[in-house]
Amino acid sequence: MRMNVYDTIIKNPRLPVSLALSENEITVCTAPAGSPSDAVTLPPIYPEWLGDRAFSGTHGSRFNYVVGEMARGITTPRMVVAAVRAGCVGFYGSAGLPVDEIERGLRLIKSELSAGQAAWGANLIHTPQQPGYEADVVNLFIREDVKRVSASAYMRLSPEIVRYTALGLSRDHNGNIVRAHHVFAKVSRAEVAEQFMAPAPDAILKDLVASGAISAEQANLSSQVPVAAEITAEADSGGHTDRRAAAPLFSSICAARDRVAAKTGIDPNTIRIGVAGGIATPQAVTAAFSMGAAYVLTGSINQAAVESGLSLAGRQLLAKAGPADVAMAPAADMFEQGVEVQVLKRGTLFAMRGKKLFYLYRSGAAFETLDPKDQAWVEDVIGEPFAAAWKATRDYISKVNPREAERAEQDGNKRFALVARRYLFNGAQLARDGDTARVADYQIWCGPAQGAFNEWVEGTFLEKIENRTVRQIAWNLMEGAARITRAAQLRAVGVAVPPTAFSYAPQKFSETEAA
């Protein structure tokens, strides 16, 4: 195949291709009209065609691409608006924010988008340690008519996520069940995925009906459809992660879907499975769609985008990260249980300090029982005397979980845990605020994908963080995936495609042009 023809075909995947096949060679041309009778015509490939067309049709997006929620407002309203305008689905990082702040964010998004730009939603995180918060957020979503929710950190279904789904169910004029509320369940284990893929449990539905939260008809409809029609298989990612490899996880979730369908009679084709975690290069996007993913979801790589809620100092750290510059650290919300999150290691001491705090807690110590050297280290890390830190912690915990505060008054080890949780929590806030005096304490959720992204964009316009917009990132990933898919298509029919055809360097799209 002549190189000029190769360049035309690979770099313009939207062109149909004619392959004239003979016993000894394959002749390639770019004009299928009038091709010989033994020619095979390969259709064009568009970025919009990658993934499940039913996904984009359901959610009103141009691409089967989701800009994922990053908690505590890292995915800002501005980022959601940019994602929707770029033809993607965007989720507001509302997890962990006060309800009134979430409300302001939702209203800002709605004020910036037209009624036809509906491909957006917000994050709902399971918070059993903060009674009432989840219900308050769902109430807000219902009140503000939020049509899409990305549900995260669920190990089992809660009444609130079931209530959100049920309140959006009705029948059309043909008697078909339709959804006004769409749940995207982010999962990393098959046993959790199965709960979302199945109809809501009878016990939860009965309790919701008895309390007046949903109607009997809504409960009836909920017993016939999955709680979530979109399942996001979250592989090795930033933040909470099981560090699963994407390919085994995706096949596991697909097998779970088929088991649920066989058991419940639900049509398995009504459940769309997407891939998140590690989605940072065109090769990764191509691999996900080649496995059969309905959509892809990006997370860490958007933190360094100009629309991110992360500070400039935090974004600069991310832009320097390599694939190995990450570490596991204790999670602020589940510190006592030993749950960890994946964070940026390079340029900070957060992971190391968090692990030592956890070690001291697990030893059973109270601050008062630590030796003087460890006491001095703890106060140096938290930046104030322990007594002052405990007072601030107690004042907060007394408002959100009074029983936990009462227990801590009598239990020195519990007091130590709550103060440690406050330090971990504040690390994320420091990274957002950009306090340059506390860079060592920044908590920046980050997976290896960030390093892969940085390597991919090195030497291109996307190397500079001021050029990293959600639109440029998404369009380059999707365009690159289309070209790599074209190369794979040609190789699959016998064309000798060189290895370099499976690479794509970012190009700068106009912020107003179509990809």
**CATH code of 90's domain:** 3.20.20.70
Question: What does the block give as tokens for 401?
Answer: 């979980």
326-330 and 340-344 strand pairing: antiparallel
pTM for the structure as a whole: 0.89
169/71 same-domain check: yes
Which H helix or E strand runs over 122? strand 120-125
41/54 same-domain check: no
The single residue listed with the structure tokens 């066989």 is 262
Q: Domain count of the chain?
A: 3
Query: What one-character-per-residue DSSP string does 233-275 give?
Result: EE-S-SEE-----HHHHHHHHHHHHHHHHHHH---GGG-EEEE
The contacts of residue 403 (CB under 8 Å, 6+ apart) are: none
Measured CA distances, 501 to 14, 135, 281, 496 (Å): 16, 51, 15, 11
Are 432 and 311 in contact, with CB atoms under 8 Å apart? yes
175/282 same-domain check: yes
Return the CA Rg of the chain: 25
11/131 same-domain check: no
* In a domain? residue 350: yes
The single residue listed with the structure tokens 């990809």 is 515
* In a domain? residue 207: yes
* In a domain? residue 317: no
Are 338 and 329 in contact, with CB atoms under 8 Å apart? no
DSSP code of residue 203: H
The single residue listed with the structure tokens 């390079």 is 346
* In a domain? residue 462: no
The two most distant CA atoms of the chain are separated, in Å, by 87
131/263 same-domain check: yes
Given CA atoms 259, 260, 264, 267 in this order, what sign does their dihedral have?
A: negative
155/266 same-domain check: yes
Indicate the residue among 290, 311, 332 that finishes a domain.
311
* In a domain? residue 32: yes
* In a domain? residue 336: yes
Distance CA 263, CA 88 (A): 34
Distance CA 239, CA 188 (A): 13
Residue whose C-alpha is closest to residue 126's, from 77, 187, 65: 187
Question: What does the block give as tokens for 44?
Answer: 């064009």
Per-residue pLDDT of the chain (515 residues; tens, 9 = 90+): 344 555 667 777 777 776 654 544 455 565 555 545 455 677 788 999 999 999 999 999 999 999 999 888 999 999 999 999 999 999 999 998 999 999 999 999 999 999 899 999 999 998 887 889 999 999 999 999 999 999 998 899 999 999 999 999 999 999 999 999 999 999 999 999 999 999 999 999 999 999 999 999 999 999 999 999 999 999 988 877 878 889 999 999 999 999 999 999 999 999 999 999 999 999 999 999 999 999 999 998 999 999 999 999 999 999 999 999 999 999 988 889 888 889 999 999 999 999 999 999 999 999 999 999 999 999 999 999 999 999 999 999 898 888 888 898 999 999 999 999 999 999 999 999 998 899 999 999 989 999 999 999 999 999 999 999 999 999 999 999 999 999 898 888 778 888 988 999 999 998 765 54
Indicate the residue among 311, 333, 362 that finishes a domain.
311
178/234 same-domain check: yes
262/362 same-domain check: no
Residue whose C-alpha is closest to residue 367's, from 429, 442, 422: 422
Are 443 and 238 in contact, with CB atoms under 8 Å apart? no
217/331 same-domain check: no
Indicate the residue among 429, 445, 461 that finishes a domain.
445
* In a domain? residue 140: yes
Q: Domain containing 486: what range? A: 3-46+469-502
Distance CA 319, CA 322 (A): 9
19/154 same-domain check: no
105/201 same-domain check: yes
210/62 same-domain check: yes
* In a domain? residue 285: yes
